[in-house]
C-alpha cells in the first residue's frame, strides 16, 4: 500500500507471519547473497522455514493432522501403487506422447490467438438446449423461470446454462450478438438460475437464511491451518503424491475455465468498494494482471502451462469437457462478482482463494516437476507460491479489514463467501479424486475429442 509519507517505505510487522515490505526491494541474506523483487508488496520470511527464502511461502502456518489421516495415507499409497503397476494408468498418454502433442499444440496456439471467441458448447439438457438455441437463433423460446427454479442446482443442465449466461459478460461466444448480454429474456432466465444456485450454496454452507455467524476471524483462522502429512480429500495433495502427468493435464484442462480469465470476476467488485479495501483490491489485481507486463498476466502464464502440457490453450476450449462440479467453481465467482449485493461474499471468496493458494501451488509445482513437465508448467505455480503469500496478507489486512470497517454488516456474507469456496472445492474434489484413484478420466470426454451433440 502507498506509504503515508512517500519518502518512507512502509513495513508491516506482525507477531506471526512474514514482514511485509513495499517493493521494489533488494534483500541481502547471510549465505546466498542478494535477492531482488519488483513486486508492489513483498512478504519476507521470518520463520526461516521457507523453501524460497528470503521470500515467504506460508511455511510458518500451524499444522494439524486431519482426523483418520493415517489410514487415509495408507489407502492413498495403495491406490498410487496400483496406478504405477499399469492397469490403472490412463490409456495412451505417456510422457513422450504428451510432449509430441505439445509441439503440435504450440503450433496451433501460435496460429490461433488466445483471445478468439469460443464456439457455443453442446447442450446437457432441455434448459441449456433452449438457451444455446436462443443464442444461435435469437427469438426462439426460452425456458420459463419456473422450470429453471425446479432444476437440480448442481446438475449438468443448470450449471451449463449458468456458465453460458455468465460468459456473455466476459468474452461471449463466436457468432453470438454481444448485446445478448443485456437481453431481458436471457436476464430473467439467469435471475431464476442465480437464485436457485445461491440458495443451494447457502444451504450447503449451513447458512440457509443468509444470517450466518459473521465470525470472519474464526473463518480465516480455519484456512490458515495446514494439515500435517497427506490430506486425502485435497486435490493438490493427491496430485503431489500421484504425480501422474495425465491427471495433472486433466486438472489443467478443468481449471483452464477459470485460469484463462484469472482474476476477471473479482474486478467487478472494485466500483463497489471504498478506501483501503478498494486500494488493496486494485493492488492485488494489478499483480494478477502482470503489473503492466502482458507476458506476466496470470492468465497468460496459465496458457503457457497448458501449451507445455500439450493442451490447446484457446479460451473456453475445454468447456465441453468440464463436468458440473468444475463449472460450479467458476459459476460461483461469476455470481458473486456480478451481484453488488454479494460483494461481501466476493471478498470472502477472494480471501479464501489467496490464503489457500500458496501451499497448494507449492504442491502442484512439485507434482509437475516430479512428472517431468516443462518449465512453463512449473512457472505458473511457482509464481503463485510467492505472489499469493503476498496477496494473502494484503487481502486479509486491507481488503477484508477495510471492507468490514466501512460495512460491518457484511461480515456474515464474508464468512459465507469463505465457506462457499470450500464447499464448491470439496464437491470438485469429490468428483475428480475417485475417478483418478480408479485410473479413470474425470472429464466428460477424452481431451482430444468433444462429446457428441
Distance of closest approach, residue 372 Cβ to Fe ion, in angstroms: 24
The count of other CB atoms within 10 Å of the CB of residue 416 is 30
Distance of closest approach, residue 357 Cβ to Fe ion, in angstroms: 6
The yes or no reply on residue 266 touching Fe ion (CB under 5 A) is no
Pick one of 388, 392, 398, 425: the residue that binds Fe ion (CB under 5 A). Answer: 388
Cα–Cα distance for residue pair 168/351, rounded to 1 Å = 26
Q: Which is nearer to Fe ion, 105 or 356 (CB)?
A: 356
Distance of closest approach, residue 40 Cβ to Fe ion, in angstroms: 12
Exposure string of 178-217, with b = 16+ CB inside 10 Å and e = fewer, is eebeebeebeebbebbbebbbebbbebbebeeeebebebe
Give me the 292-331 binding string for Fe ion, x by CB under 5 A, dash otherwise.
------x---------------------------------
Q: Which is nearer to Fe ion, 194 or 288 (CB)?
A: 288
Considering only the stretches 145-153, 174-182, 289-297, 388-396, report the one whose residues sit in contact with Fe ion under the rule CB under 5 A: 388-396
Distance of closest approach, residue 270 Cβ to Fe ion, in angstroms: 15
Reply yes or no: is the peptide bond before residue 54 cis, omega within 30 of 0: yes
The yes or no reply on residue 391 touching Fe ion (CB under 5 A) is yes
Answer for the pair 325, 160: CB distance below 8 angstroms, yes or no: no
Cα–Cα distance for residue pair 98/87, rounded to 1 Å = 19
Residues touching Fe ion, count (CB under 5 A) = 4
Q: Which is nearer to Fe ion, 298 or 444 (CB)?
A: 298
Q: Which is nearer to Fe ion, 90 or 298 (CB)?
A: 298
Q: Which is nearer to Fe ion, 93 or 300 (CB)?
A: 300
Cα–Cα distance for residue pair 421/418, rounded to 1 Å = 5
Distance of closest approach, residue 350 Cβ to Fe ion, in angstroms: 9
Residue 314 C-alpha cell reads as: 484457446
Strand order in the sheet with 19-22: 11-12, 19-22, 41-44
Residues from 276 through 295 that contact Fe ion (CB under 5 A): 288
Q: Which is nearer to Fe ion, 246 or 381 (CB)?
A: 381
Task: For 259-353, list the strands marked E by DSSP.
Answer: none
Residue 361 C-alpha cell reads as: 501451488
Residue ranges that bind Fe ion, judged by CB under 5 A = 288, 298, 388, 391
Amino acid at each position: 500500500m502507498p506509504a503515508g509519507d512517500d519518502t518512507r517505505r512502509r513495513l508491516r510487522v506482525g507477531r506471526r507471519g512474514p514482514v511485509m515490505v513495499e517493493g521494489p526491494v533488494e534483500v541481502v541474506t547471510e549465505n546466498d547473497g542478494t535477492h531482488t523483487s519488483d513486486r508492489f508488496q513483498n512478504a519476507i520470511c521470518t520463520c526461516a522455514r521457507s523453501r524460497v527464502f528470503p521470500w515467504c511461502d506460508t511455511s510458518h502456518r500451524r499444522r494439524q493432522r486431519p482426523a483418520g489421516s493415517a489410514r487415509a495415507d495408507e489407502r492413498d499409497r495403495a491406490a498410487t501403487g496400483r496406478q504405477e503397476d499399469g492397469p490403472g494408468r490412463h490409456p495412451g498418454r505417456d510422457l513422450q506422447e504428451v510432449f509430441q502433442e505439445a509441439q503440435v499444440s504450440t503450433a496451433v496456439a501460435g496460429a490461433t490467438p488466445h483471445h478468439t471467441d469460443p464456439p457455443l458448447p453442446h447442450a446437457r439438457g432441455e434448459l441449456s438446449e433452449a438457451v444455446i438455441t436462443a443464442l444461435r437463433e435469437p427469438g426462439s423460446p426460452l425456458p420459463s423461470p419456473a422450470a429453471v427454479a425446479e432444476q437440480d442446482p448442481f446438475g449438468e443442465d443448470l450449471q451449463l446454462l449458468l456458465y453460458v449466461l455468465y460468459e456473455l459478460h466476459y468474452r461471449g461466444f463466436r457468432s453470438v450478438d454481444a448485446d445478448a448480454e443485456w437481453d431481458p429474456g436471457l436476464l430473467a432466465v439467469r435471475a431464476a438460475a442465480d437464485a436457485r444456485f445461491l440458495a443451494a450454496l447457502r444451504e450447503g454452507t449451513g447458512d440457509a437464511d443468509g444470517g450466518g455467524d459473521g465470525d470472519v476471524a474464526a473463518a480465516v483462522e480455519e484456512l490458515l491451518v495446514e494439515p500435517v502429512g497427506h490430506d486425502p480429500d485435497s486435490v493438490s495433495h493427491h496430485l503431489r503424491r500421484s504425480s501422474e502427468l495425465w491427471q495433472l493435464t486433466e486438472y489443467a484442462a478443468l481449471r483452464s475455465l477459470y485460469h484463462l480469465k484469472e482474476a476477471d470476476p473479482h474486478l467487478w467488485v472494485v466500483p463497489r468498494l471504498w478506501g483501503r479495501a478498494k486500494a488493496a483490491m486494485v493492488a492485488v489485481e494489478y499483480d494478477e494482471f502482470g503489473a503492466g507486463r502482458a507476458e506476466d498476466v496470470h492468465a497468460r502464464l496459465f496458457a503457457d502451462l497448458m501449451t507445455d502440457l500439450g493442451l490447446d490453450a484457446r479460451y473456453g476450449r475445454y468447456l465441453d469437457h468440464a463436468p458440473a462440479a468444475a463449472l460450479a467453481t467458476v459459476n460461483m465467482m461469476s455470481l458473486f462478482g456480478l451481484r453488488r449485493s454479494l460483494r461481501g461474499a466476493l471478498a470472502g471468496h477472494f480471501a479464501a482463494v489467496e490464503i489457500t493458494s500458496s501451499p497448494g501451488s507449492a504442491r502442484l509445482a512439485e507434482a509437475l516437476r516430479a512428472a517431468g513437465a516443462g518449465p512453463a508448467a512449473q512457472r505458473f505455480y511457482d509464481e503463485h507460491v510467492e505472489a499469493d503469500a503476498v496477496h494473502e496478507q494484503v487481502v486479509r489486512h486491507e481488503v477484508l479489514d477495510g471492507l468490514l470497517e466501512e460495512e460491518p454488516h457484511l461480515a456474515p456474507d464474508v464468512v459465507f463467501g469463505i465457506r462457499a469456496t470450500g464447499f464448491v472445492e470439496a464437491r470438485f474434489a469429490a468428483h475428480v479424486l475417485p475417478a483418478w484413484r480408479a485410473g479413470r478420466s474425470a472429464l466428460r470426454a477424452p481431451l482430444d475429442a468433444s462429446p457428441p451433440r
